[in-house]
């Protein structure tokens, strides 16, 4: 068992009752199919059931990366998702504000990207009441060690430890540079390609005409506009 896996297991044990406050609405997942693979767009609060939903998709599809925007949620679910991101080498792109455990998922990626104007917010762990106690403080330390093991700079780890759960500290440009974060959308080109392919498919319908006497086939494509004109 690798160091990362051992740290994850060590972190899991006390999280049953201690973690980030969980939003009532699960994260929304949208699959974008491209020639390069599938990109999953995640938005909203992260809840305990979200990992199982993602796990099912990841088992059946060739996913190349995540586009995520979230204010945080369940630490346990976030750790699970972060582990998958790390193990599979997924690219993570934070398109809008990405706070709390969402930032944890971004940190776990081997290649990290953020959108223009996107903010990455961090804070320490809270208990189930949204407060800090001895148990949540211990989890914060364990999580910080885990992040340091993933190569997250100590300056960022320090901001996590020193920011109370009820507050938030946003990473600055220097922090993002230390994480090798690039301010661009790594999926833009494949999004555009997928969109163009869908448009072309919707606008052109191909049919095969067969001459019954010669058995010769003739292919033809007509646009939606042309079909409308022919119908008049």
Other Cβ atoms closer than 10 A to 24:
6
Is the pTM above the cut of 0.85?
no
- Answer with the residue of higher pLDDT: 143 or 190: 143
| pLDDT tens digits for range 37-60 | 889 999 999 988 888 888 888 887
Average pLDDT value for the chain: 77
Measured CA to CA, the distance from residue 201 to residue 223 in angstroms comes to 10
pLDDT at residue 6 in the model: 46
5-9, 25-29, 83-87, 196-200, range with greatest mean pLDDT: 83-87
Contact 179, 107 (CB under 8 A): yes
pLDDT of residue 197: 55
pLDDT band, very low/low/confident/very high, at 146 (cuts 50, 70, 90): confident
Nearest residue to 4 (alpha-carbon basis) of 156, 157, 152? 152
21 near 126, Cβ under 8 Å? yes
| CA 29 – CA 44 distance, rounded (Å) | 9
Domains of the chain listed by start with CATH number: 3-186 (3.90.226.10), 189-231 (no CATH)
What's the whole-number mean pLDDT along residues 14-29?
Answer: 52
- Rounded to an integer, the average pLDDT of 156-179 is 95
């Amino acid at each position: 068992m690798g160091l990362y896996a051992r740290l994850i297991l060590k972190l899991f044990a006390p999280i049953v009752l201690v973690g980030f406050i969980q939003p009532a609405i699960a994260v929304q997942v949208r699959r974008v199919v491209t020639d390069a693979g599938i990109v999953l767009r995640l938005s909203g609060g992260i809840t305990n059931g979200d990992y199982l939903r993602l796990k099912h998709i990841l088992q059946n599809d060739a996913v190349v990366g995540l586009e995520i925007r979230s204010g945080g949620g369940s630490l346990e679910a976030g750790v699970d998702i972060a582990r998958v991101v790390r193990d599979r080498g997924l690219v993570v792109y934070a398109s809008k504000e990405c706070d709390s455990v969402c930032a944890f998922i971004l940190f776990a990626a081997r290649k990290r990207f953020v959108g223009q104007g996107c903010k990455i917010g961090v804070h320490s762990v809270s208990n189930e009441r949204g407060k800090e106690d001895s148990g949540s403080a211990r989890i914060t330390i364990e999580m910080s060690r885990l992040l340091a093991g993933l190569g997250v700079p100590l300056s960022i780890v320090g901001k996590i430890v020193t920011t109370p759960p009820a507050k938030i500290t946003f990473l600055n440009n220097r922090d993002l540079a230390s994480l090798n974060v690039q301010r661009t959308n790594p999926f833009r080109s494949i999004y555009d390609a997928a969109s163009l392919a869908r448009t072309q498919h919707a606008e052109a319908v191909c049919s095969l005409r067969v001459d019954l006497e010669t058995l010769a086939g003739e292919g033809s494509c007509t646009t939606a506009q042309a079909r409308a004109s022919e119908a008049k």
